[in-house]
Amino acid sequence: MLLVGIVFGLVALCTPARAAEPAATPNAPTLPIEQKFYAPGPWAVTSAKAIGCCDSTGSAFDVWYPTDLGRDGTRHSVVTFGSGWLSTPDRYDYFLRHLASWGFVVVATESTDTGSGKQMLDAARWMLRQDDEPDSPFHHRLDTEAVGAVGHSEGAGGALNAMRMSDGLISASIMVGLPPRLYCVTTPANCADPRTVTGGGIFLINGSRDALISPSYLPVPSVVLGPQSMSAYYDATPGSVAKVWATLNGADHSDLQGQPSCAGAHGSCTNGVYGFLGYPTAFLRYRLAHDDYARGAFVDQTGELFRETTNWTNQHSNIRAGAE
Structural domains in the chain plus CATH codes: 4-317 (3.40.50.1820)
Separation of alpha carbons 116 and 155, rounded Å: 8
How would you class 6 by CB atoms within 10 Å of its CB: exposed for 0-12, middle for 13-18, buried for 19 or more? exposed
What is the pTM for the complete model shown?
Answer: 0.91
Residue 190 near residue 157, CB atoms below 8 Å: yes
SS3 262: coil
Instruction: Name residue 2's amino acid.
Output: L
Residue 282's Cβ-count burial label (10 Å; 0-12, 13-18, 19+) is buried
Separation between Cα atoms, residue 92 and residue 264, nearest integer Å: 10
pLDDT at position 20, please?
41
* CB burial readout 182-219, b (16+ within 10 A) else e: ebbeeeeebbbbbeebeebbbbbbbbbbbeebbbbebe
3-state SS class at 110? coil
Nearest to 152 by CA among 234, 55, 85: 85
pLDDT at 11: 32
* 198 within 8 A of 240, measured Cβ to Cβ: yes
With beta carbons less than 8 A apart as the criterion, state whether 233 and 227 touch.
yes
Amino acid identity, residue 143? D
79's enclosing H/E stretch is strand 76-82
The separation between the first and the last C-alpha atoms of the chain, rounded to the nearest angstrom, is 40
Residues 6+ apart with CB under 8 A from 167: none
Per-residue pLDDT of the chain (324 residues; tens, 9 = 90+): 333 332 333 233 333 344 344 447 999 999 999 999 999 999 999 999 988 889 888 999 999 999 999 999 999 999 999 999 889 999 999 999 999 999 999 999 999 989 999 999 999 999 999 999 999 999 999 999 999 999 999 999 999 999 999 999 999 999 999 998 888 777 777 888 899 898 999 999 999 999 989 999 987 666 556 788 999 999 999 999 999 999 999 999 999 999 999 987 888 999 999 999 999 999 999 999 999 999 999 999 999 999 999 999 999 999 998 766
Sheet strands side by side (includes 105-109): 13-15, 45-53, 60-66, 105-109, 76-82, 142-152, 170-176, 201-207, 242-248, 312-317
